[in-house]
Amino acid sequence: MIWESLKLSLLVVSTATVLVGLIGLAFAFLLAKRDFRGKELLDACLTMPLVLPPTVTGYYLIVLFGRRGIIGGFIYDLTGWTIVFTWYGAVIAAAVVALPLMIKASRASIESVDPNYEIASYTLGKSEFETFFRITLPLAKRGIFAGLVLSFARSLGEFGATLMIAGNIPGKTQTMPLAIYEAVASGDDRRAQILAIILTAISIAAIYLTNKISSSRIY
């Protein structure tokens, strides 16, 4: 049981971290480098999962991805499949709650790159796209890595939204935090203890790594 939930958690969290990395970076670039109407509103919406109770986030995810949801209904009509009560649902829940951390950390990092480097690159004939990937991104990598580590840790601890959209099915959607809840509820203290220690160790490692990255000198 412990092994199964650990394996599932790692699968869910690593998939969610890849998603968060790609989507988070795209939004961070948009918010850091572009001015458009509704920018602050978009920022607020993306930050919301950071402050909303996870069950509320989970509720919105059901409204969006449920069998009768806005997106989920469309998928269900087309394929007869629903994301609810699958590990994909757990991935979505984990990604949505971690996304604000990734966006905040990488946006701040992208904004802190001296604009003269980017201007210098433009004067040398490089496009905005090439400049972003060859100059801005490498110079902002510290904040981006820190964002990824924090997102990984946050995804790993996700409970409320996961329970709402993916349920608590052992071997299928029961990630480590859910397994701890069930172990305590059924009086299996030893299992709860082992799982809690594993999660604590990973969390401490994540904080240590983030601090290490933040204080290191890159260039």
Partner 1 sequence: MLTVNLKKHFSSKSKTEFLLDVSFSVGNGITVLTGASGSGKTSILRLVAGILTPDEGYIKANSQTFFDSGKNIDLSIQKRRVGFVFQDYALFPHFNAEQNIAYGVKTDDKKFKTNKAREMLSLFHIEHIGKRIPREISGGEQQRVALARALASDPLIVLLDEPLSAVDVETRAKLLDEVENAQRETDIPFIYVTHNESEAVRLGKHRIVLQNGHIILPIS
**Which residues bind to partner 1, rule: CB under 8 A?**
114, 116-117, 119-127, 134-135, 138-139, 218-219
Give CA separation, 33 vs 111, 122, 204, in Å: 8, 15, 33
CB of 6 to partner 1, least distance (A): 37
Element (H, E) at 131: helix 128-131
Q: Which is nearer to partner 1, 106 or 155 (CB)?
A: 106
Q: Name the token pair of 54.
A: 């996870």
Q: Which is nearer to partner 1, 138 or 171 (CB)?
A: 138
CB of 125 to partner 1, least distance (A): 5
Q: Which is nearer to partner 1, 41 or 124 (CB)?
A: 124
CB of 124 to partner 1, least distance (A): 4
Q: Which is nearer to partner 1, 3 or 129 (CB)?
A: 129
Buried b (16+ CB within 10 A) or exposed e, 46-76: beebeebebeebbbbbbebbbeebeebeeeb
CB of 215 to partner 1, least distance (A): 17
Residue 150 CA to residue 55 CA, distance in Å, equals 21
